[in-house]
């Protein structure tokens, strides 16, 4: 999507800018000659993702951590719009070390908001939240106004806590806040999630694939280009002080079908699939939401339309990851 209202005169700060989603957002904004600052501690991101922009005069990369206020101040200088994408995305860590998500998600968000308040130049704060904030909703597809919000993982709780902080800061300090409840986002450069995990396991042991859970876990998988389009469209077409959007698809795909697609894309035959059976009724792990489908009618009302369905997104992602690994 082509930016109009902010192009050539606005500075963007992207936390997690060398990561999967962040680097794709960097690509789009830089291609439109925006001024972009990327802050990343490179624990999951990679300079390879943004290598082509490192010497561009409109781009600045800051290797830093959101737990360090000096790093934030350096990266935020001259920026009016913040895209907060940095987070620890590993839901499974929740049951082992909940402090990780508190520090890297909640505390990091608080530090960024405080720096935003003190800087005084940031007008808009965009946050990549998660569908996990809904927990296991009784209403599917799940709308933005669903309640009560009862996340079943520390990751989901950390995202919900971050949302609460952002909304409060918006109302108290006059920020404009846009919050996106993201479904599973997939595509080139992803190094996290079921598709990447399946490929890695099959590369090590091509005759066998172990799947956590019973394989019926069903969710939407949104391709990265559709996700980035959403993040820009929401910025352009909404003006409310606080706006929340579900970002996903109207279809789902289960883990069994994902495994089949990955096996096909890797050109493998006769693969033995082993299901662990999982926990709590077939989940892959404690805190794994087994069935998620977001109501995206609000997002569609501002003109957003995805180009890829879940199965196609999975196939394109498997193909891209295999190409990158070869």
Task: Provide the token pair at 285.
Answer: 């792990």
Question: Does 148 sit behind a cis peptide bond, omega within 30 degrees of 0 on the bond before it?
Answer: yes
Task: Provide the token pair at 180.
Answer: 């996106």
User: Which parts of the chain fold into alpha helices (H)?
Assistant: 20-31, 69-76, 98-101, 108-119, 154-173, 194-204, 224-237, 255-265, 297-300, 310-325
d(CA 80, CA 13): 8
| Phi, psi angles (nearest 5°) of residue 137 | -70, 150
The residues facing 211 across adjacent strands are 275
- Taking alpha carbons only, the member of 76, 109, 104 closest to residue 90 is 104
User: Which parts of 94-143 fold into alpha helices (H)?
Assistant: 98-101, 108-119
Could you say which of 83, 146, 155, 169 is catalytic? 155
- Sheet of 81-84, strand order: 59-63, 35-40, 11-15, 81-84, 124-130, 176-182, 242-247
Give the CA count within 13 Å in the CB-facing half-sphere of 296: 24
Give the CA count within 13 Å in the CB-facing half-sphere of 216: 7
d(CA 228, CA 83): 11
Task: Give 305: exposed, middle or buried? Use CB within 10 Å, 0-12, 13-18, 19+.
Answer: exposed
Task: Provide the token pair at 276.
Answer: 């662990």
The residues facing 218 across adjacent strands are 254, 291
196 is catalytic: no
Residues classed as catalytic: 155
């Amino acid at each position: 999507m082509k930016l109009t209202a902010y192009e050539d005169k606005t500075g963007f700060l992207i936390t997690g800018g060398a990561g999967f989603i962040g680097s794709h957002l960097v690509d789009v904004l830089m291609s439109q000659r925006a001024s972009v600052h990327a802050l990343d501690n490179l624990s999951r991101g990679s300079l390879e993702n943004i290598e082509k922009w490192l010497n561009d005069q409109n781009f600045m990369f800051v290797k830093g951590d959101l737990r360090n206020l000096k790093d934030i101040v350096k990266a935020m200088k001259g920026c009016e719009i913040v895209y907060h994408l940095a987070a620890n995305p590993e839901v499974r860590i929740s049951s082992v070390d909940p402090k990780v998500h508190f520090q890297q998600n909640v505390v990091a968000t608080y530090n960024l908001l405080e720096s935003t308040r003190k800087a005084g130049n940031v007008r808009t704060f965009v946050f990549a939240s998660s569908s996990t904030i809904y927990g296991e909703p009784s209403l599917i597809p799940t709308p933005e106004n669903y309640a009560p919000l009862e996340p079943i993982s520390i990751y989901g709780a950390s995202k919900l806590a971050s949302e609460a902080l952002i909304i409060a800061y918006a109302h108290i300090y006059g920020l404009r806040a846009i919050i996106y409840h993201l479904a599973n986002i997939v595509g080139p450069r992803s190094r996290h999630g079921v598709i990447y995990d399946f490929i890695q396991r099959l590369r090590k042991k091509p005759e066998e694939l172990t799947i956590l859970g019973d394989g019926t876990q069903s969710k939407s998988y949104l391709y990265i280009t559709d996700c980035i389009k959403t993040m820009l469209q929401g910025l352009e077409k909404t003006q409310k002080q606080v706006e929340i959007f579900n970002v996903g698809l109207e279809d789902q795909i289960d883990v069994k079908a994902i495994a089949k697609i990955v096996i096909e894309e890797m050109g493998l035959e006769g693969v033995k699939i082993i299901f662990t059976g999982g926990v709590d009724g077939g989940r892959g792990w404690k805190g794994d939401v087994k069935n998620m489908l977001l109501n995206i009618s609000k997002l569609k009302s501002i003109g957003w339309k995805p180009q890829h369905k879940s199965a196609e997104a999975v196939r394109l992602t498997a193909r891209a990851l295999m190409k990158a690994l070869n």
